A and B are shown apart, each in its own frame.
Chain A
Amino acid sequence: DVKVTQSSRYLVKRTGEKVFLECVQDMDHENMFWYRQDPGLGLRLIYFSYDVKMKEKGDIPEGYSVSREKKERFSLILESASTNQTSMYLCASSLGTSASYEQYFGPGTRLTVT
């Protein structure tokens, strides 16, 4: 069974703070993704990574950065948190070959920025 875990289920931070969200997968997946989920907007891709130290911007990368130093771990960084970054953040991983494109999601981190 694929397991994707995220460091926190709930997080409350103040405006201007640096925030780290961590994601770990245990299935040796090549690809990892960070999404934010907001009502009525679906799942929007922030950043993704297809290999260690490799990353690409998704659709809404502004205000975020990522780090992938090890294959199993993908971190999302909010350099200076703002109230419009209050959201549910979901991490996912996938094997990403023609055998399986399925993305496995973590439980999510609900971040509130005050």
Chain B
Amino acid sequence: GENVEQHPSTLSVQEGDSAVIKCTYSDSASNYFPWYKQELGKRPQLIIDIRSNVGEKKDQRIAVTLNKTAKHFSLHITETQPEDSAVYFCAAQPRGSSASKIIFGSGTRLSIRP
């Protein structure tokens, strides 16, 4: 089955700098890759996603890139702000999975230093 690995597990960056979180997946047929953000004490929420027919997607300060050949995808946050502090989860959806289930990575705790 699908396996998603996420690195690093913790990341601390200076406010205003960029942050990059990387994930790899094992099932080459996976076709949907969402990223969820979970602020302290709150529920995870989708922040951006990418499908396998697209190499890059941007939404203001966040972007996701996908390299299908290497089976890895990354989240890029530019001009980081204190409100970016959270745990970020990458995920992958295997093609043909029933109920559109997704497999999550282990999470990255991002801290923004003032």
Contacts and interface: CB of A to CB of B under 8 A. Distances in A.
A33 B99 CA distance: 9
B21 to A, nearest CB: 13
Report the interface size class on chain B.
20 to 34
Interface residues of A, number: 27
Interface in A86-114: 90, 94, 96-97, 101-103, 105-108
Interface string B80-110: 0000000001000100001111111111000
B105 A101 contact: no
Interface stretch (B12-20, B41-49, B57-65, B70-78): B41-49
B104 A105 contact: no
10 contacts: A30-B99, A33-B101, A43-B89, A48-B99, A49-B99, A50-B98, A59-B103, A101-B93, A101-B102, A103-B102
Interface of A: 30-31, 33, 35, 40-45, 48-50, 56, 58-59, 90, 94, 96-97, 101-103, 105-108
Q: Which 8 A-B pairs have the closest CB atoms?
A: A50-B99, A96-B100, A105-B43, A42-B106, A31-B99, A43-B104, A42-B104, A102-B46
Given A33-B101, A90-B43, A107-B43, 20 more contacts: A31-B100, A35-B104, A42-B6, A42-B105, A42-B106, A48-B99, A50-B99, A56-B99, A59-B1, A90-B44, A94-B99, A96-B99, A97-B100, A101-B93, A101-B100, A101-B102, A102-B34, A102-B46, A105-B44, A107-B42
